[in-house]
Amino acid sequence: MAGSYTDNEAEGFPVPASGRHSDDDGRRPGDVDRPQAAFYYDVGSPDAYLAAERVVGVLGTVPEFIPVRIGGPGGFRCAEEETIYRSDIERRAAEYGLMPLRWPPEFPADSEWAMLVATYAKQTGRVVAFSMAAFRQAFAAGRDLGERETVLLAAAACEMHPAAVIKGGALRSTRGRLEAAEAEAAAAGVRDVPAVVTAAGQVIDVPPIVLAERPS
Q: What is the CATH number of the domain that holds 202?
A: 3.40.30.10
Peptide bond between residue 207 and the one before it cis (omega within 30 degrees of 0): no
**For the chain, what is the mean pLDDT?**
81
35: pLDDT confidence band, cut at 50, 70 and 90?
A: low
Q: Is residue 76 part of a domain?
A: yes
Average pLDDT over residues 9-20: 33
Domain, as residue range, for 54: 35-211
Q: Please report whether residue 28 resides in a domain.
A: no
Domain membership flag for residue 14: no
Whole-structure pTM value = 0.79
Give the pLDDT confidence score for residue 136 in this predicted structure. 96
Percentage of the chain modeled with pLDDT above 70: 78
Confidence of residue 77 (pLDDT cuts 50, 70, 90): confident
Of 192, 117, 101, nearest in space to 156 by CA: 117
**Beta strand 64-67 pairing with 38-41:** parallel
In a domain, 4, yes or no: no
Query: Is the separation of the CB atoms in 131 and 118 below 8 Å?
Result: yes
Q: Please write the tens of the pLDDT for every residue from 137-147.
A: 999 999 999 99
100 domain residue, yes or no: yes
Q: What is the mean pLDDT of residues 83-111?
A: 92
Confidence of residue 4 (pLDDT cuts 50, 70, 90): very low
Q: Which has the higher per-residue pLDDT, 186 or 59?
A: 186
Contact 98, 50 (CB under 8 A): yes
Integer CA distances (angstroms), 103 to 21, 69, 83, 140, 142, in order: 34, 20, 12, 8, 5
Q: Is residue 17 part of a domain?
A: no
Nearest residue to 15 via CA among 53, 64, 57, 52: 64
Q: Is residue 20 part of a domain?
A: no
pLDDT in tens, 150-168: 999 999 999 999 999 999 9
Task: Show contacts of 90-94: CB within 8 Å, 24+ apart.
Answer: 92/50, 93/50, 93/139
Instruction: Read off the pLDDT band of 176 (50, 70, 90).
Output: very high
Domains contained in the chain, number:
1
